[in-house]
Amino acid sequence: MRRDGISMSRYPEAFARSAQFENETLGFPLRAHPQLLFYRKDLIPSPPRTWDELVTLGKELKQSNPEISPLALYFNNDGNRQNLFIWLNFLWAAGADIFNPDWTAAWTSEEGLQATADYIALHTVHEVTNPNSLAFVEQDARQSFMQGNSAMIPVWWWAYSGFYNPDTSTLSKEQVGFTGMPSYRGRTKTYAISMPFSISSHSRNQDAAWEFLKWLSNPDLDKKNAVEREVKGEPIVNNVVTHITSLTDPEVNAANDGIQTAAWDSLKESGIMPQIPEWPEVGDILSAAIADAAAGGNVRELMLAAAERSDRILRRAGRIK
């Protein structure tokens, strides 16, 4: 990378971190996603900027449009920990975290428990979510939005083109708007995800692989992929870019209704999930606790029980000394 003048600073910090482990760069984030709030422009003239505003708006929407649910959320634990995606916004914005520096559970701090309770309350107390959100995984929630059954959805930016694609959605482009994720307690911190590409240490052609990876990840191709609307006569739509230069490029933004500007804003304070081998197990425990809480369980008891199991697992794995 040094020889070829490539720096990870070309990516937003959360994207770069997702391709690094213990400060060592292991690959490039070739496809990566920030979270945005998508909403129905024909129903919501001014999108909410905070979760409190969203609750107020949701209650108004239920009165004015009772046939449409205000918010499509996804509380079901499907094995991919999707129901943690929005929870992390609440948790981090409250100043809490998943783990303490010694790898014990940190979500049991008072701030963390309150943030979790407020996230669950969207469904159980304020009832501004789609009633089927307990059964929804992310795909179901997107379907609900595209079929006109829900008015808002917080989800990855790549979903944008699908929301107005006449083959998959009942909505037109004029009906679909997007904005940054709502803030919680005056702060916005979103979750970002990426798909890094690396070179295997077993590769027999590492130099060739490096040349290919350089070409595949170069900023010009990143921009071209988001601006082109036709390849060999076939129409294409893609708004996903990973380079800061593409996110802030006027031409890229003009071709994509300015979604990159909203994304860049979302990524300015953004985090990733923990990078330890035990995370899938702990994450699934948390995911099941969130699903049970949304189904009416006691938030505090469930999160404390999840913490106890997490600590036990990480102790057994030798992570907690």
Q: How far is the CB of 77 from another protein (least distance, A)?
A: 5
Q: Is 203 in the site for another protein (CB under 8 A)?
A: no
Distance of alpha carbon 140 from alpha carbon 135, whole angstroms: 8
Helix axes 299-316, 110-124, angle to 10 degrees: 130
Q: Is 311 in the site for another protein (CB under 8 A)?
A: no
Per-residue interface string for the shown chain with another protein, residues 60-79, x marking contact by CB under 8 A? ---------------xxxxx
Q: If you ran DSSP here, which 8-state letter would residue 230 be given?
A: E
Q: How far is the CB of 86 from another protein (least distance, A)?
A: 17
Strand partners for 28: 197
Q: Is 134 in the site for another protein (CB under 8 A)?
A: yes
Distance of alpha carbon 247 from alpha carbon 258, whole angstroms: 9
Distance of alpha carbon 7 from alpha carbon 142, whole angstroms: 35
Tell me whether residue 217 is exposed, middle or buried, using C-beta atoms within 10 angstroms of its C-beta: 0 to 12, 13 to 18, 19 or more: buried
| Cβ closest to another protein, residue 52 vs residue 281 | 281
Q: Is 94 in the site for another protein (CB under 8 A)?
A: no
Within 10 angstroms of residue 203's Cβ, the number of other Cβ atoms is 12
Q: How far is the CB of 133 from another protein (least distance, A)?
A: 8
Instruction: Select from 181-189, 201-209, 220-228, 279-287 the region that touches another protein (CB under 8 A).
Output: 279-287
Instruction: Select from 140-148, 174-182, 203-211, 234-242 the region that touches another protein (CB under 8 A).
Output: 140-148
With CB under 8 A as the rule, give the number of residues binding another protein.
29
| Cβ closest to another protein, residue 87 vs residue 136 | 136
User: Would you list the DSSP string of 76-110?
Assistant: ---SS-GGGHHHHHHHHHTT--SB-TTSSB-TTSH
Q: How far is the CB of 40 from another protein (least distance, A)?
A: 16
Q: How far is the CB of 19 from another protein (least distance, A)?
A: 18
| Cβ closest to another protein, residue 134 vs residue 303 | 134
| Cβ closest to another protein, residue 59 vs residue 312 | 312
| Cβ closest to another protein, residue 177 vs residue 283 | 283
User: Would you list the DSSP string of 102-154?
Assistant: TSSB-TTSHHHHHHHHHHHHHHHTS--B-GGGGT--HHHHHHHHHTTSEEEEE
Q: How far is the CB of 276 from another protein (least distance, A)?
A: 9
Pairing of the two strands 69-71 and 150-156: parallel
N-to-C CA span, the chain: 36
Residues 6 or more apart whose Cβ sits within 8 Å of residue 228: 236
Q: Is 310 in the site for another protein (CB under 8 A)?
A: no
Binds another protein (CB under 8 A): choice among 7, 65, 147, 165: 147
By CB under 8 A, name the binding residues for another protein.
75-79, 131-132, 134-136, 140, 143-144, 147, 149, 277-278, 280-281, 284, 288-289, 291-292, 295, 309, 312, 316-317
